[in-house]
Amino acid sequence: MIENSMFEEEPDVVDLAKEPCLHPLEPDEVEYEPRSSRLLVRGLGEHEIDDDEEDYESSAKLLGMSFMNRSSGLRNNMSVYRQNPNGSCSVPSTRTMVVCTVVLVIAVSLIMAIYLLPKCTFSKEGCHKKNHTMELIYPLATNGKLFPWAKIRLPPDVVPLHYDLVLQPNLTTLKFAGSVKIVVNIVHVTWKIVLHSSGLNITKATITSAGGHQAKPVEFLEYPLHDQIAVMAPEALLVGQNYTVNIEYSSNLSDTYYGFYKISYKDENSKQRWFAATQFEPLAARSAFPCFDEPAFKATFLIKIKRDEKLSTLSNMPKKATTPVTNGIVQDEFFVSLKMSTYLVAFVVADLKNISRETNGSLVSVYAIPQHLNQVGYALNTAVKLLEFYQKYFFINYPLEKLDLVAIPDFQSGAMENWGLITFRETTLLFDSNTSSARDKKLITAVIAHELAHQWFGNLVTMEWWNDLWLNEGFATFMEYFAMEEIFPELHSDEDLLNLIFKAMMKDSLNSSHPVSSAVQSSEQIEEMFDALSYIKGASLLLMLKHYLTKDVFQAGIEVYLHNHNYGSARSDDLWDSMNEITNGTLDVKKLMKTWILHKGFPLVTVVRKGKNISVQQEKFLYRVEPENWTSDASYLWHIPLTYITSSCNFTHCTNAYLLDQKSAVIELPEEVEWIKFNVDMNGYYIVHYAEDWKTLIDLLKKNHTALSPKDRANLINNIFNLAGLGKESLEKAFELIDYLNKESSTAPLTQALFQLSLIYSLLEKKGEQQLAARVMHRIEHLLGDKIDQQRWTDDGTLSERELRSTLLAFACTHNMRNCRTTATEMFEKWMKSNGTMSLPSDVMKAIFTAGAKSSNGWEFLLKTYSSSVSEAEKSKMIEALASTEDVRKLIWLMQNSLEGEVIRAQELSHIIATVSQSLPGYLLAWDFVKENWEKLTRKFHLGSYTIQNIISSSTSQFATKAHLLEVKSFFESKSEESSQLHCVKEAIDTIQLNIQWMERNLAKLQELL
């Protein structure tokens, strides 16, 4: 992992010509890589020096040779005759004569050699002969010997079939011991078995051949830069044969969120207890046991865990037996797993309680620490419903006898889909009927739906390599929202997906974006694939395809895909091929979808209406923030499944479709229409510019906004503000479009308008344009003030109404709008007087806490209550309120304490930084904190991880000056190359440039408008 390799010194370089070889090196191990990649393999035939002198010079410097000095020395001795000052030549010396004779002999010899060479030597084609011997340069292992592999990816010579893993974690010393037996099969003859290991202290390694009874000790080499070890066989390993590699090792339980890591928590009696859990995706199984830690290397696993008899263990499979080992220690053995990838292996050692229910032959259980057992009921009911739905939809039963969902007290991500043992952050699994809001319920439902979808997409069928992570995450995200719409329609989850798509498009519109399927190799690149593009853009493209193919065709294609590749690996093309089996030549899905998957960004479709003719034209939607670095894609064509409705029929069943696979086209309508709206319900991943027709749509919203669906109204708001940012439409027109909002009652358009106006407010506030920012807030109050006044401080109404109430009142209290803060402060003081025992409405709890935290006494009381609360939902709202204070010292303390993880867990840090960054007193503090603690942050959360992406984005996204741009650039340039080359760093720089550009373009216009 990056902690081991990021600060490693450059490995020593060894010339194989001078170093005795330990084992024969195989031809496929010779590799050419760029010098910057640090894969030290180079071929240097003598004649190559002249061809690429510059490359040789760099290599020579690596080897400690001075190429330039040697060359100049040769030049200085080139002349044998010296001219006298008077112009005559002196008589050659005896030494000179000898040298000349030697040169003459060599010249004659060369002429004879050329005469005797075959004619093909001088032909255009040359002679066909074997390659000359190459000098190989390999990296050094930790013991100073040559490490026999130089690539980041493992060699294909050996594949694992089965692992026997025995672990003994000690929750007192916080260390663990382990042994693993790996049965491997040989694909190509080899002398080595290269696999992954990170931070493990290996004490013994042996190898046993198939049918052999004697384990032979073997030498093993370690190369930490790539997290690799090489087991060197005493004899050639033969094709088709199985061998067993046995490795014994020990390590510390990790103090990060990766690998086999330790967690401390307080029990019911406020006593500190320890908990051990795993998080292996993407690259951390190797830090718990030596393994072939790549997703395509699937195998079966038999896991045994030795533990204190007072604790319990869980793993992927049901428990087979428990046997005593020594006094107070027992061993749990689990059944052999199905064939799966290493990143899905999981185990937990802790004191846990659970409730269970059986469905369709599988036992579903939800586990938590004892004091949280009364909060797991909702999760169990939800999981059972979703499991039953997925089995029917995919026509494939869940293949395990049990499914455990476990609430982990300290967990970096939302959840992890380990097969049969899904781990969750407590806020995404525990539902407290007294303190969990409508939004909390939706979050828990969505995360369970996502992780259960992974049991098929990701676990049963896994992407072959991390470049196609979207096959896992995009599909799970798509299925999450699809399943929620089918089973829990009252949650209106489609509105959440809409907002997520809008945010993903903001990221995808920058030049720093990347294709959904992107080539990746390093750990940082792999970590960075876990972003909004893999998850949300991936889901959005599947949503678009489902609507274009129709839901039955799409479902049939998914069934074929899962059946064709179950227990195996797949690439993007395998999914399109499966869809093509169903379309049967009527549509080439692969041709269509490759235009979306292999290319970054998305199209802008411009619509011009003339009578019955609608002309449509596509181009790339891109904010051009830095022309010198801008990569042009002007000629790129997407195959866009356009959808549209018109004034003649605007119901869902009247949706029309047209495939735009050219730069431009003309759609002929059967009759003239008053208006036309493209991208129905935002089911397509593109933005639409209506040119002259914007006025028609603005008038429609003013006269009869319900002629369009809430999602269509939100879509229009999003599109016009994005076009204003691009300079294609005026900000004046965007403000004109949202004038209808005082008649709006749906959550999606109100939320989107509030989001767009808040972005403008934040930029103005941080730029020091306080008066103008106040005028933006006045405009928001004018549009939404009546709506805010209508909100009641209760938990009444539908889930959608309750969620809108949470949003509006939290916003109003934050910006001191209407009498919101007065009401909230009164409720907070009553709650404080009751010592936190009075029940507060859960939907408005965050607004009440935020108002209360404005006072010093209120803040201190909230912090005290936070430490003793047993409701994770309540604690989450408290954290946000604590981070909303304007007291600078309190903000610094909060961030620092969360990083240390004592009072406030480190899992909350990115959320705290994001909240602090929103306020005027906090936005510079947050950035200073990130700069000062960069090394600690990247050790704790790993470079490129989703948490680091969020921290960089939230701490810089408010900047809109050239001074801040220079500061952010300089800071990351001063760090390692891995840091400065992160996508999220480039995205942060693009965003600041875009903010500067937006202010330059719109500041004067805003002063006129407002």
Q: How far apart are CA 132 and CA 154, in angstroms?
A: 27
- Look at strands 158-170 and 300-308 and give their pairing: parallel
Structural tokens at position 477:
């995200």
| Closest of 904, 791, 883, 877 to residue 435, by C-alpha | 877
- Contact in structure between 884 and 853 (CB atoms under 8 Å): yes
Cα 898 to Cα 160: distance, rounded to the nearest angstrom? 41
Q: Which two tokens stand for residue 90?
A: 């002196």
* Cβ neighbours for 375, distance < 8 A, ≥ 6 positions apart: 368, 430, 431, 432, 871, 872
Can you say whether residue 901 is alpha, beta or left, with left for phi > 0 and alpha for psi between -120 and 50 degrees?
Answer: left
- The Cα-based distances of 415 to 349, 443, 932 in angstroms read 17, 12, 29
Active site residues: 451
**In terms of DSSP bridges, do strands 676-678 and 664-668 run parallel, antiparallel, or are they unpaired?**
unpaired
Asked if 284 and 258 touch (Cβ cutoff 8 Å), the reply is: yes
Q: Which of 560, 538, 398 is nearest to 475 (CA)?
A: 538
Q: Please name the residues in contact with 639: beta carbons below 8 A apart, sequence gap of 6 or more.
A: 591, 592, 595, 596, 659, 660, 661
Q: How many CB atoms lie within 10 A of CB 715?
A: 28
Q: Which two tokens stand for residue 20?
A: 């005795």
Distances (CA, A) of 61 to 16, 65, 67, 442: 17, 5, 7, 60
Nearest to 681 by CA among 484, 489, 475, 498: 498
Residue with tokens 């960054």: 917
Burial of 219 (0-12, 13-18, 19+ CB in 10 A): middle
| Pair 283, 523: CB distance under 8 Å | yes
Q: Give the count of beta carbons closer than 10 Å to the beta carbon of residue 130.
A: 5
DSSP secondary structure, 223-274, as one string = EGGGTEEEEEEEEEEPTT-EEEEEEEEEEEPBSSSSEEEEEEEE-TTS-EEE
How many other C-beta atoms are found inside a 10 Å radius of the C-beta of residue 891? Answer: 24
String of DSSP letters for 849-886: HHHHTTSHHHHHHHHHHHHH---HHHHHHHHHHHTT--
Tokens of 953: 């984005």
CA 138 to chain centre: 32
Distance CA 368, CA 355 (A): 9
Q: Per DSSP, what are the bridge partners of residue 423?
A: 406, 416
DSSP 513-566: ---SS----SHHHHHHTSSHIIIIIHHHHHHHHHHHH-HHHHHHHHHHHHHHHT
Interatomic CA distance for residues 111 and 22, integer angstroms: 42
Give yes or no for a contact between 249 and 165, defined as CB atoms under 8 angstroms apart: no
Q: Which residues contact 824 (CB under 8 A, 6 or more apart)?
A: 809, 813, 844, 847, 848, 850, 851, 852
